[in-house]
Structure formats: structure tokens, C-alpha cells
Amino acid sequence: MAVGHAMDALDAGGPAGGPGDSAGSGGRAAGASRARLFAAQVLRGQAQVTFLPNAATGALFAVALFAAGWEYGVYGLAGTAVGTATARLLGVDGDRVAAGLEGFNACLTALCFAVFLGAAHLSTALLAVAGCVVVTVVTAAAVRLLGVWGLPSLTLPYCLLATAVTIAAPGFGRLWHTGQGVAALPLPASGTTAVEPAGLARGFLAGFAQIFFMPQWYVGALLLLGLLVAGPRTAAVACLGNAVGVATAWALGAPAARIADGTMGYNAVLVALALCGVFLPARAATLAYALVGAAAATALGPAVSALFAPSGGHAFTWPFVLTTVVFLAGAKSFPRLTGSGTEAGAGH
Amino acid sequence: MAVGHAMDALDAGGPAGGPGDSAGSGGRAAGASRARLFAAQVLRGQAQVTFLPNAATGALFAVALFAAGWEYGVYGLAGTAVGTATARLLGVDGDRVAAGLEGFNACLTALCFAVFLGAAHLSTALLAVAGCVVVTVVTAAAVRLLGVWGLPSLTLPYCLLATAVTIAAPGFGRLWHTGQGVAALPLPASGTTAVEPAGLARGFLAGFAQIFFMPQWYVGALLLLGLLVAGPRTAAVACLGNAVGVATAWALGAPAARIADGTMGYNAVLVALALCGVFLPARAATLAYALVGAAAATALGPAVSALFAPSGGHAFTWPFVLTTVVFLAGAKSFPRLTGSGTEAGAGH
Amino acid sequence: MAVGHAMDALDAGGPAGGPGDSAGSGGRAAGASRARLFAAQVLRGQAQVTFLPNAATGALFAVALFAAGWEYGVYGLAGTAVGTATARLLGVDGDRVAAGLEGFNACLTALCFAVFLGAAHLSTALLAVAGCVVVTVVTAAAVRLLGVWGLPSLTLPYCLLATAVTIAAPGFGRLWHTGQGVAALPLPASGTTAVEPAGLARGFLAGFAQIFFMPQWYVGALLLLGLLVAGPRTAAVACLGNAVGVATAWALGAPAARIADGTMGYNAVLVALALCGVFLPARAATLAYALVGAAAATALGPAVSALFAPSGGHAFTWPFVLTTVVFLAGAKSFPRLTGSGTEAGAGH
């Protein structure tokens, strides 16, 4: 199931340089067609945050970001656009660009800067543009490095850049406007572990929203709607992953506050999607494998947070990336998992 | 010298699915044969902690763990069994399972949880089972990732999982029963560096025991006996590695207490074994190379401890893994080391 | 432009084992010829710190180190000599040795120990010799590991060893003579960001000197002279990279003191050299790409410093290594960058 080749209805004009460009019906029509093509690539880029080359899903994701705050909607769309445009400028393979694969890391990078450095500062906006250019280079490098094992690059490029910049930012006076230190030694969990039903429901929905750093349950509900548009199976796998994440966190004794704000679910959602239906075929065996992965990523979360705490860093989607890379690389040695000795591969 | 193919006397029935299964002499006999076969795989899995597919060595290692505490013996054997069974269930290559290569990382993972999270807690036992399942996936991934360079995965899977879980554990109320923080900034060495002969002897034997996190000299003596059973050359290389580790630590000025409790010797033992006789042929040149590696791993130890200190982590066998990977990868470019341009390779 | 094959005028006798050895004109002449050959390899090893297999440049670099302090000159030359001799002893490929590729990581390793552990201590000198032997093994490993992607190993071996030893040193009483701890949580930047013209000029020259850990502007001036000897284009690229580094640091609001002591320029110099003229062809497009890389490495600097702060580590040339590896790996996917679909490759 190669993500890179599943095009959707919006893509009437083919990839960059296709029929839409060769039409002779005047510059304005060609320009409008090219703009529509680029818009579709940007929307697919938004949707690729959850591995879906689906412009309708991407449009709903954009709505969700605007619901969280208009500036987040703008940062997300502009970031995806800058990343996609940079890739086109540098001559990256047209299929990747058309599928939105050059947009989602830039989308998350720009959003991350907006959330952690302050969306209103001009410095943040300029840095976000620069970050979206650089993340395109990092993406090309990650694709090539991981390609040796036939592994996808996932959100690794964004994780690398977001970690580097958020850790470096306090060292730069014009980026860091609070003047406050963020470095600390990690402390043992404290606070109640008893989750109330309302907190559980809120945490479940917020788990989707935290993929984009947002804590609001309604943002998560809109994102879930976007997954549903892409297909009921996709939404079901995402919900199961989220539920396993929340259940694992509860069983291990995570603080109730961490469950209620969704931070215990977002990595599990992404792992479940990646391992059941995107990079491995959707079957009963891979679903079980994906849910084990979702639980593992949830347990890994506080480890990543603790590791980065002394330099003031954040976990981002590192738990998802690390778990998925390990489970995908491992899957190739488990013939009973994928059936009849097929090698698992993907072009994400 | 491919570890994966040196079978020992206990393996009368061949690997899983071999003659022992096809015999028509009734279900009970076949069942007993299968159980005996599995038991041999588990014992070999214990022995593979020191790269030896030798059931008698594994049995002595199990005795040593029971000598340290019956719960450690149980955790070690059960961990190896769960890891081996998971690998069989997932359809991992039968040769690897038969040689015990799917057991030793699980053995160390279960033991590590027992030592650092408390062996008596039900939560620890359940987590150890889950950990032994997940470490099998991590092993498959590590084998595939390192396979690109023809490098063995060593105890890397266990190091990854043990580091992740011990760092994450304080963040989970139901795993962490002391409620105390473990994060700290590393301090310069203090205390005397003058080692007494008794401390030196105790530290030498404890160096073997620390491979399994145990500080008792008599546990180390039993483990050394296990190495001796596998062959006098193996025991001699291990002793030389240990001695070089202790000597290096003394020369660099390590605190006497660190030498006496064996923490300065266990990585050196493993490096010496790996580089002289297991993954490189046993020759005078590789012995010298292995002892340089043993010294390097000893110097690396406090660096790994200091790196993980702020998140409360431990060095585990990271110094051994990192040093051995570097020295094995480097060895392929040193024709004078391995003789006549042979490429060093192994199937561990 | 393979660095490994650009020999210079001093190499009259060919690589080790060439005509210089087979001449029958008496032992003394052959010995002198062999010594001259080795001296040329050592000088080229000094110059390879900036990727130049040029003995004249290396001689000027040695002069610069002696200008900073005679002990630094000695450590640098002796380190390069030990690394080169170790590689010859182990039978490393003669082309690599002749080009100086086995010397520069040892040079930096020895210098780093001199600067951070105290050049006057006997312990430092002995450790430097051991470090230069081990770094040769690390270099062989790095060449092999990165060779899978056709990537050069740059100063990665030195960074690994320098990081390990400087973090481990406070744990060893005979290496660490101050008794003071160096671990700290990173703090936000403080102090003025207003750079005066004199500070800017001093910082620009010191940026070259910081490649060798030196803060003096005149050391930097001598190093720049060495680059000029290798060719005006090389010097121009290095100056542009340095200027972009300083400008980026100023724009992001780095403390003026960090700009004036050159720590904001040295990674940018190395990135610019590597990406424009050494591992990628020198063209307008690669120059622009290299300067983006120089800016990225400058921003990455404080992140690496903050990451290592809790264990008392240093950034060394990690920002250069990480940025260059990413930009070189990425470059292979950007056909418009290198022109007509040529794959970028190098033998450094």
C-alpha cells in the first residue's frame, strides 16, 4: 500500500508538469490551473501528517487548526506551502510533491515554532519560513538515509528540526522573548491517577489534537472527522490506537492530568495508523501488532520527555517515530505477521 | 566462527520443526521432546549473554542467578523463555531460535526490570513479560538495521529497552514504588583511588557478575565457571579482558569503590570475548585489538553514566555495545589484523 | 572532486611502499626519503582539518598552532603523526594515508585533550597518544558505516572520542586535576547582543581559530593564510561561510561575547568549505546551498551546547558534522543543485 501513489479526486490535472501545464488555452487559465494544483498539493500535505494523500482530509485538518486559533491555521497552511514550494524549486521527484509528502513535515515545523516561540512575533514567522526550507533538505536526507532499509522517514525530519530549534532558542535573544529558562531535572510523577469519565472522553479527543500540539477536544473532534472522510477503517484504527494509548497510560499509572490533555494518546494514534493500513497491510495480525506498538510508544513517551528535560526540550512525535521505525524494521523478519513472506515496504 | 551454528550436545532433536517433531511415537513423547528442545533453547539463550550457544554454560549461569536470589533466577529463566517463545510465535528464522539468539536480550531485560523496579511487585512481573515480547521486535529490527554492515546486534536491543523503561518508570505511578527522584547532575569522582588486594580480587570476580547487574563475588565465580565449561580459551580471554578493565580503571584513577563492586570490569569482559574468538578469529593480533577495545570500553563507562545521569538512567552494557560495534566495523579495514584480507562477519 | 586523490607537490615519492622504498641507493637515503614522505603525510593531515590535502597549508596550520602556544603545536603535530602511523601499522588503504585522511581526526583529538584536560599534565599526553590510536579505529568504522550512503566521515570520529573523553574525565581522578564539576543546566542567553565593529572583526578572525579551539584573532589570521595558499576560491568560500555564520548569530540575537570569541563562526566555515568545492562542485547553486547550511549550523550550535551541558560536554564540531551529513545526503535528491542528475559523492 504505497501512500505515495494513492491520488484523490481533487487531483484532476495530474502531477506538476502534467496535462494542466501543457494546455494552450491562455496564461490565465493555465495559471489558475497551476494554482489549483498547488493548493491540492498543500491540502494533501496537511493530510499527510496522518499519512493520507487526501485533500478533503487536509481541508478538514486546516479547519481544525483555524478552530484552535486563526494564527495556527495560517502557520500550518503557510508552512505546508513553503515546504512544498521549496521541494519543487529544488527539483524533488514530482510524485512525492504531488502526494503531499513534501508538505507535512514543514506544516508541523511551522506550527511547532508558532506554539513554542509565540505565533505573534515577527521573529517566529521569519524563522518558520527558514525552518520550512531547511526541513525540506532534512526530509531529502532522511528519505535517502532510511531508504537503505526500505523504511519511511515519517515525521523524523520535523522532530529533528523542532528539537534543535526549541533547544537552541533560549540561547538566542531575538528568538526567546520570555527570558525564562526551561531546563529542569525530571521529577517523578505526582498528582492523582484516578481519571474521571469526562476527563477520559476529553483526553480521547484531545489525543487527536495533540498531533498538532493542540489540547482542545473540539479540535480533536474535527481532526477525527477528517480521518473519517478518508475512510471508516482509517478512523477506526486511529480510535483503537488512541484507546490503547489511554488504557496503557492508565494501567501504568500516568497522572490523570496527562491523560486528560491528550498527551498520552497522540503517539499511539500515529503508530496504529502507520502499522495497520499504511506501511503494513490492514489485517487482524497487523492490527494486533500495531496495538502492541501503540502501547509501547505510550510507555516510551515519558522517557523521551525526561531525556530532553535538562535541555528544555519536548517529546514531539519522537516516540511515534522511534517505535514505528523499530516495528517496521522488525516486521520484515516476521513472516507470520504480513503473510506469505512478503517484504513490507512503502514509499512514504 | 559463526555463533549461530555451533550447536551443543543437548540439542539432540535438531531445531524446531526437525526430526523430534515428526516422530510418530505418540503425543506424550513428542511433547516431552519438544519441551526438552525448548528447555535447551532457553539455556542456550542464557549462555548467549556471553555469546556462547552452550546449554551447560547457560545452566551454570542460571545457578549463578539463583545464588544471587531465587527471584533473579526466575526472572532470568522466565524472561529468556518468553523471548524465545515470542520469536517462535512470530516465525523468526529457526536457526536463530535454536542457537538461543532470541533469548539473551529478553533475559537481561527481565532481570534489569527486577533489579531496578523491584522484583517483588506484580507490576514489575507483568511489565517484564511485556518487555520480553517487545524486545523480540527490537531484536528483529536491530538485526536488520545492523545487517546492512554485516554487524551483530549484540545486547543493543536490551540496552534500548532497559534505558527507555528505567528512564520512563518514574513518570508512571504504578511502576515506580519509591516515589523518589533519581535524576541528578553528574559529580566529579571523589573518594580514595587506592584499591586494596582484597578489593581487587572481589572486584575482579564481581566484574563477571555485573554483566547480570549482580555485585556478589560468588555469583561472578559461578559465571566464570560457566565460561570455563564452554572452553578454557573463552575463560582466559574473559579473564584478560576483566584484568585490562580493572587495570585501566585504576590507571585512570577511578574510585576504589567502583573497582571493588565490579562496575569497571563487565564491559571489558564482553568486549574481549566479542573481539577475540566470537566475531573475530582468536589470534594474537585480535587479542591485542580486543584488549585495546576492553580498555576503551572501560574509559567510556563513566561517560555513558554521566550522559544518562540527568534523566536517572544507567550505563547498562552501552559501553560494550558501542565499543564493539566500532571495533568490528573498523576491523574490516585492517587487513593485518584478521589476516589475508578476510572480511570479518558473524551471525550473532 | 575527490579529496583523496588531489596530491600536492611535496609528495615526490608516491604513497607508502612506492618508488621511494624500492630505491637501492643505500639505507640512509631511503630512510630520509621515507621520513620526508611521512612528514608530508603529517602536514597534509593537519590541512585535512579543512579538507585540503595540501602540505603547505598544513605547515601554516602548524605555525598557527605554535603561535597559540608551543604545547598546542606539539600536541597537534604529534597527534597527527600518531594517527597516521597507527593507520599505516594497521594496514589502512595507502591512498587514504597519503592524502592525510588518517591524520586530521587524531590532530583534533590530541589538541582537544590538551585544551580541556591541561596540556602540561603527563596524564594528558599519555591519554592523547591512546586517543590518537583509538580514533584511527573509530575513523575506519565511521568510513565504513557512512560509506553505505556514499557519505564522508568528516570530523565525526574526533567528535565521538572528544565527547566521550571530556564527559568521562571528571569521573577519573588521575585525568581530572581541577576537582571541579562542569555539569550544569543550560541558562537562557544573557548579556548584550550589540556587537562593536572591533569585536566583529576579532570574532571573524577567531572563527577560523576556533576550528582548533583557539580564541586568538592572530591564530585565525594565520589559518586564513593557510587557506589562501590552497587557493583564493577556497579562502573566499571560507570567508563567506564565516560571515554568514556571524550574520546569522547576530540576526538571531546571540550574545555579543559569543560572536567576538569566534564560537559562532567555525562551524559555518567548515560547512561552507565542505558543501561548496570539496564534496559538491563549486557552482553558484552549491554556494547558495552551502551558505544556507552555514546558517543552519550556526543556529544548531547552541542546541548542541545545551544538550551536552548537563554532562559538562562541549559542542566541538558536531553542528558542522550533523549539518553537512544532512545537506550532503539531501543534495543527492536535488538535481537542480548539482546539475544534470549527477550523484554527489566523495572519498573523504
pLDDT value at A255 more than 80: yes
- Record: contact C91-B336, CB cut-off 8 A: yes
Reported as half-sphere exposure (CB side, CA atoms, 13 A), residue A171 has a value of 26
Average pLDDT, chain B: 89
Report helix angle A122-147 to C284-308, nearest 10: 100
- Record: contact C172-B310, CB cut-off 8 A: no
Neighbours of B158 (CB within 10 A): 30
Q: How far, in Å, CA of B15 to CA of B243, rounded?
A: 37
Chains that touch A (3 or more CB pairs under 8 A): B, C
- For residue C25, the model assigns a pLDDT of 57
Give the tens place of pLDDT for each residue, A33-92.
899 999 999 999 999 999 999 999 999 999 999 999 999 999 999 999 999 999 999 999
Burial class (CB in 10 A: 0-12, 13-18, 19+), A139: buried
Q: How far, in Å, CA of A183 to CA of C310, rounded?
A: 10
The answer, for A296 touching chain B at a CB cutoff of 8 Å, is yes
Of A150, C138, C192, C18, nearest in space to B147 by CA: A150
Residue of chain A with shortest Cα separation from B136 = A330
Q: How far, in Å, CA of C294 to CA of C278, rounded?
A: 15
Q: Please check whether residue A264 is in contact with residue A249, taking contact to mean a CB–CB distance below 8 angstroms.
A: yes
Give the tens place of pLDDT for each residue, B233-282.
999 999 999 999 999 999 999 999 999 999 999 999 999 999 999 999 99
- In which band, very low, low, confident or very high, does the pLDDT at B11 lie, cut at 50, 70 and 90? very low
The x, y and z cell numbers of residue A252, run together, are 501504568
- For residue B9, the model assigns a pLDDT of 36
Average pLDDT, chain C: 89
Neighbours of A35 (CB within 10 A): 10
Q: How far, in Å, CA of A164 to CA of C315, rounded?
A: 13
The x, y and z cell numbers of residue B7, run together, are 550447536
Coil, helix or strand at residue C101: coil
C-alpha pair distances (Å), A63 with each of A57, A102, A236: 10, 20, 21
DSSP C199-258: HHHHHHHHHHHGGGT---HHHHHHHHHHHHHH-HHHHHHHHHHHHHHHHHHHHHT--HHH
- For residue A103, the model assigns a pLDDT of 95
- Record: contact C144-B333, CB cut-off 8 A: yes
Of A317, A342, A333, nearest in space to A108 by CA: A317
Backbone angles phi, psi at C195, to 5 degrees: -95, 130
Average the pLDDT over each of B180-184, B209-213, C87-91 and give the range with the smallest value.
B180-184
- For residue B28, the model assigns a pLDDT of 78
Give the tens place of pLDDT for each residue, B228-245.
999 999 999 999 999 999
Share of chain C above pLDDT 70, in %: 90
pLDDT value at A3 more than 50: no
Mutate to test the interface with A, among C326, C337, C338 (most CBs of A within 10 A): C326
Give the tens place of pLDDT for each residue, C141-165.
999 999 999 999 999 999 999 999 9
Q: Which of C295, C306, C336 sits opposite A168 (nearest CB)?
A: C306
Kindly state the DSSP code that residue A310 receives in the 8-state scheme. G
Q: Which of B189, B295, B329 sits opposite C173 (nearest CB)?
A: B189
Residue type, C281: P
pLDDT value at B312 more than 90: no
Place of cell 482509517: A234
Q: Which of A189, A330, A336 sits opposite B140 (nearest CB)?
A: A330
- Record: contact B300-C93, CB cut-off 8 A: no
- Record: contact B140-A329, CB cut-off 8 A: yes
Mutate to test the interface with C, among A82, A124, A167 (most CBs of C within 10 A): A167
The pTM score is: 0.91
- For residue C27, the model assigns a pLDDT of 74
The gap from C-alpha A274 to its chain's centroid, in whole angstroms, comes to: 11
Name the minimum distance, in Å, from the CA of A147 to any CA of chain B. Answer: 11
Q: What is the mean pLDDT of residues B142-171?
A: 96
Give the tens place of pLDDT for each residue, B65-89.
999 999 999 999 999 999 999 999 9
Q: Please check whether residue B273 is in contact with residue B242, taking contact to mean a CB–CB distance below 8 angstroms.
A: no
The answer, for C326 touching chain A at a CB cutoff of 8 Å, is yes
Q: What is the mean pLDDT of residues A256-282?
A: 95
- Record: contact A172-C254, CB cut-off 8 A: yes
Residue type, A254: A
Kindly state the DSSP code that residue B277 receives in the 8-state scheme. I
The x, y and z cell numbers of residue C95, run together, are 591512498
Q: How far, in Å, CA of C150 to CA of C329, rounded?
A: 9
Q: What is the mean pLDDT of residues C316-338?
A: 95
pLDDT value at A2 more than 50: no
Kindly state the DSSP code that residue C169 receives in the 8-state scheme. G
Give the tens place of pLDDT for each residue, C2-30.
333 333 333 333 333 334 344 445 677 88
Mutate to test the interface with A, among B124, B132, B134 (most CBs of A within 10 A): B134
Name the minimum distance, in Å, from the CA of A231 to any CA of chain C. Answer: 33
Residues of C in contact with A171 (CB under 8 A): 186, 188-189, 254, 302-303, 305-306
Q: How far, in Å, CA of B332 to CA of A135, rounded?
A: 35
- For residue B180, the model assigns a pLDDT of 84
Q: What is the mean pLDDT of residues B117-140?
A: 97
Residue type, A213: F
Q: Please check whether residue C148 is in contact with residue A148, taking contact to mean a CB–CB distance below 8 angstroms.
A: yes
- For residue C26, the model assigns a pLDDT of 64
- Record: contact B325-C141, CB cut-off 8 A: yes
Q: How far, in Å, CA of B27 to CA of B21, rounded?
A: 10
Q: How far, in Å, CA of C345 to CA of A287, rounded?
A: 42
Kindly state the DSSP code that residue B8 receives in the 8-state scheme. -
Q: How far, in Å, CA of C160 to CA of A199, rounded?
A: 46
Residues of C in contact with A172 (CB under 8 A): 189, 252-254, 299, 302
- In which band, very low, low, confident or very high, does the pLDDT at B187 lie, cut at 50, 70 and 90? confident
Coil, helix or strand at residue A174: coil
- Record: contact C173-B185, CB cut-off 8 A: no
Q: Please check whether residue A52 is in contact with residue A229, taking contact to mean a CB–CB distance below 8 angstroms.
A: no
Backbone angles phi, psi at C316, to 5 degrees: 45, -140
- Record: contact C145-B329, CB cut-off 8 A: yes
Place of cell 533473579: B72
- For residue A275, the model assigns a pLDDT of 97
The x, y and z cell numbers of residue B203, run together, are 572486584
Of A33, A64, A69, A71, nearest in space to A49 by CA: A64
Domains of chain C with CATH codes: 3-171 (1.10.3430.10), 197-338 (1.10.3430.10)
- Record: contact A299-B133, CB cut-off 8 A: no
pLDDT value at A196 more than 90: no
Q: What is the mean pLDDT of residues C269-282?
A: 97
Q: How large is the ipTM? A: 0.90
CB proximity list for C197: less than 8 A, separation 6 or greater: none
- In which band, very low, low, confident or very high, does the pLDDT at C31 lie, cut at 50, 70 and 90? confident
Of C78, C100, C76, nearest in space to C15 by CA: C100
Residues of C in contact with B303 (CB under 8 A): 163-165, 167-168, 171, 311
The answer, for B236 touching chain A at a CB cutoff of 8 Å, is no
Average pLDDT, chain A: 89
Q: How far, in Å, CA of A209 to CA of A231, rounded?
A: 19
Chains that touch B (3 or more CB pairs under 8 A): A, C
Q: How far, in Å, CA of C131 to CA of C109, rounded?
A: 7
Q: Please check whether residue A154 is in contact with residue A211, taking contact to mean a CB–CB distance below 8 angstroms.
A: no
Q: Which of B296, B303, B331 sits opposite C134 (nearest CB)?
A: B296
The gap from C-alpha A283 to its chain's centroid, in whole angstroms, comes to: 23
CB proximity list for A241: less than 8 A, separation 6 or greater: A265, A268, A269, A270, A271, A272, A273, A290, A291, A294
Residue type, C187: L
Give the tens place of pLDDT for each residue, B15-43.
333 343 444 456 778 888 899 999 999 99
The gap from C-alpha B305 to its chain's centroid, in whole angstroms, comes to: 18
